[in-house]
Amino acid sequence: MTKGFLFTAIFIFSGAFLALRAQTFQRTEAGVKTTFGSGEVEIRFYSPSIVRILKSPGPGLVAKESLSVTKTPEKTSFSVKQVGDEIELRSTEMIVVYNQENGQVSYKTSKENNLLKEQVAGASFTPFNDAGSSTHTVTQVFQLEKDESVYGLGSQQQGKMVQRNLRMNMVQGNTDDYVPFLHSVKGYGVFWDNYSPTVFEDNVKGTSFRSEVGEGVDYYFMYGGNADGVIAKMRDLTGQSPMFPLWTFGFWQSKERYKSQNELVGVVQKYRELGVPLDGIIQDWQYWGNNYLWNGMEFLNGEFYNPKKMVDDVHALNARMIISIWSSFGPHTKPYREMEKQNMLLNFETWPQAGTDTWPPNMDYPSGVRVYDAYNPLARDIYWKYLKKGIFSLGMDGWWMDSTEPDHLSFKPEDFDNKTYLGSFRKVRNAYPLMTVGGVAERQKAESREKRVFILTRSAFAGQQRYGANTWSGDVTASWQALQNQISAGLNFSLTGIPYWNSDIGGFFLSKFPAKLNDPEYRELYARWLEFAAFTPMMRSHGADAPREIYQFGKKGDRVYDALEKFIHLRYSLLPYIYSTSWDVTNKQSSMMRALMMDFASDHKALNINDQFMFGKSFLVAPVTEAMYIERAQGAGVPSEDFSKVKAKAVYLPRGTSWYDFWTGEKVGGGSTVNKETPIDIIPLYVRAGSIIPFGPKVQYAEEKKWDNLEIRIYPGASGSFTLYEDENDNYNYEKGAYSTITFNWDDVKKTLVVSNRKGSFPGMLKARKFNVIVAGEQMDGASNGQLVNYNGKKVTLKLKS
For residue range 126-146, list pLDDT tens digits in order: 999 999 999 999 999 999 999
Identify which has the larger pLDDT, 413 or 309: 309
> What pLDDT does residue 357 have?
84
Same topology, domains 3-186+188-223 and 706-799? Answer is yes
Question: Does the CA dihedral 243-249-253-254 come out positive or negative?
Answer: positive
> What pLDDT does residue 406 have?
98
DSSP per residue, 663-718: TT--EEESSEEEEEE--TT---EEEETT-EEEE----SSTTSS-SSEEEEEE--SS
- Tell me if residue 778 is catalytic: no
Q: Give the pLDDT band (50/70/90) at residue 619.
A: very high
Whether the upstream peptide bond of residue 335 has omega within 30° of 0, thus cis, is no
Looking at residues 467-477, what average pLDDT do you find?
A: 98
Does the structure show a pLDDT above 60 at 69?
Answer: yes
Identify which has the larger pLDDT, 415 or 14: 415
Does the structure show a pLDDT above 50 at 154?
Answer: yes
How far is residue 361's CA from residue 351's CA, in Å, rounded to a whole number?
10
| Domain 3-186+188-223, CATH among 2.60.40.1760, 3.30.43.10, 2.40.50.140, 2.30.30.190 | 2.60.40.1760
Does the structure show a pLDDT above 50 at 252?
Answer: yes
> What pLDDT does residue 784 have?
45
Residue type at 28 in one-letter notation: T
Residues 6+ apart with CB under 8 A from 204: none
Does the structure show a pLDDT above 50 at 781?
Answer: no
Does the structure show a pLDDT above 50 at 12?
Answer: no
Decide if 223 contacts 240 (C-beta within 8 A).
no
Q: How far is CA 577 from CA 236, 248, 312, 448, in A?
A: 25, 14, 30, 28
Task: Give CA angle at 7 (6, 13), nearest 5°.
Answer: 90
According to CATH, the superfamily of the domain at 249-467 is: Glycosidases (3.20.20.80)
For residue range 722-734, list pLDDT tens digits in order: 999 999 999 999 9
Distance in angstroms between the alpha carbons of the first and the last residue of the chain: 77
Looking at residues 350-355, what average pLDDT do you find?
A: 95
Q: Name the DSSP letter for residue 509.
A: B
For residue range 256-273, list pLDDT tens digits in order: 999 999 999 999 999 999
> What pLDDT does residue 443 have?
98
How far is residue 371's CA from residue 335's CA, in Å, rounded to a whole number?
11
Q: Where are the beta strands (DSSP E) in 150-205?
A: 150-155, 166-170, 177-184, 188-192, 198-203
Looking at residues 444-471, what average pLDDT do you find?
A: 97
Q: What are phi and psi of 705, to 5 degrees?
A: -125, 145
Q: Residue 425's beta-bridge partner residues?
A: none
Residues 6+ apart with CB under 8 A from 615: 535, 536, 592, 593, 594, 621
| Domain 706-799, CATH among 3.30.365.10, 2.60.40.1180, 3.90.190.20, 3.30.2130.10 | 2.60.40.1180
DSSP H or E stretch at residue 6: helix 3-19
Q: Give the pLDDT band (50/70/90) at residue 779.
A: low
- Tell me if residue 402 is catalytic: yes
**Catalytic hit among 40, 93, 284, 402:** 402
Looking at residues 548-566, what average pLDDT do you find?
A: 98
Nearest CA among 54, 42, 47 for reference residue 192: 54
Q: Longest Cα pair distance anywhere in the chain, in angstroms? A: 84
For residue range 681-718, list pLDDT tens digits in order: 999 999 999 999 999 999 999 999 999 999 999 999 99
> What pLDDT does residue 508 have?
98
Distance of CA 63 to the CA centre of its chain: 30
> What pLDDT does residue 801 have?
75
Does the structure show a pLDDT above 70 at 9?
Answer: no
Q: Give the pLDDT band (50/70/90) at residue 635.
A: low
Looking at residues 13-41, what average pLDDT do you find?
A: 72
Does the structure show a pLDDT above 50 at 11?
Answer: no
> What pLDDT does residue 21 have?
44
**Catalytic hit among 130, 405, 524, 531:** 405
Does the structure show a pLDDT above 50 at 1?
Answer: no
β-bridge pairing 759-761 and 251-253:
unpaired
Nearest CA among 347, 343, 352 for reference residue 288: 352
Does the structure show a pLDDT above 90 at 650?
Answer: yes
Task: Calculate the average pLDDT of the chain.
Answer: 95
How far is residue 657's CA from residue 652's CA, in Å, rounded to a whole number?
12
Does the structure show a pLDDT above 80 at 17?
Answer: no
What percent of the chain shows pLDDT beyond 90? 92
Helix (H, G, I), strand (E, B) or coil at 195: coil
Decide if 473 contacts 136 (C-beta within 8 A).
no
Looking at residues 338-367, what average pLDDT do you find?
A: 94
Q: Give the pLDDT band (50/70/90) at residue 8.
A: very low
Nearest CA among 619, 601, 599 for reference residue 532: 619
How far is residue 51's CA from residue 43's CA, in Å, rounded to a whole number?
7
Residue spans of the domains in the chain: they are 3-186+188-223, 249-467, 706-799
Looking at residues 184-195, what average pLDDT do you find?
A: 98
Looking at residues 299-305, what average pLDDT do you find?
A: 98
How far is residue 46's CA from residue 78's CA, in Å, rounded to a whole number?
11
780-790: b (≥16 Cβ within 10 Å) or e: eeeeeebbeee
> What pLDDT does residue 250 have?
98
**Least confident interval from 383-387, 409-413, 736-740:** 409-413
How far is residue 457's CA from residue 299's CA, in Å, rounded to a whole number?
21
How far is residue 753's CA from residue 639's CA, in Å, rounded to a whole number?
52
What percent of the chain shows pLDDT beyond 70? 96
**Catalytic hit among 86, 303, 349, 475:** 475
Assign 3-class secondary structure to 64-127.
CCCCCCCCCCCCCCCEEEEECCEEEEECCCEEEEEECCCCCEEEEECCCCEEEEEEEEEEEEEE
Mean pLDDT is highest, among 363-367, 636-640, 718-722, for 718-722
Q: Residue 89's beta-bridge partner residues?
A: 80, 96
How far is residue 372's CA from residue 387's CA, in Å, rounded to a whole number?
14
The model's pTM: 0.95
CA atoms within 13 A on the CB side of 467: 29
How far is residue 396's CA from residue 152's CA, in Å, rounded to a whole number?
34
